[in-house]
Amino acid sequence: PYERIGIERQLGRDCARVLATCTDEVVELGDMGVPPRQVSVVPCGVDAEHFHPAADTGRTPERRLPHRLLA
């Protein structure tokens, strides 16, 4: 949204590194005043050779187990 352009512009200039997902974003960031030397492109996606679903162990995944809050 338009309302956040100012803060994005300031953050981009103040940060040591800004990540973009494509070269179009690098251009857009440059238009906002972010120096290209501060921008790195990290494409969206997953390396399927490195990250893959775990083998089915028959166990309930931890994220589906009930949670408790202890105080």
For 2-41, write each residue's pLDDT tens digit. Answer: 888 899 899 999 999 999 999 999 999 999 999 999 999 9
The sign one gets for the Cα dihedral 8, 40, 16, 34 is: negative
> Which residue bears the tokens 């050779």?
49
Cβ neighbours of 18 (radius 10 Å): 20
Token code pair at residue 55: 């083998």
pLDDT of residue 5: 86
pLDDT value at residue 50: 83
Instruction: Give, for 29, the enclosing helix (H) or strand (E).
Output: helix 23-31
Q: Is the pLDDT of residue 60 over 70?
A: no
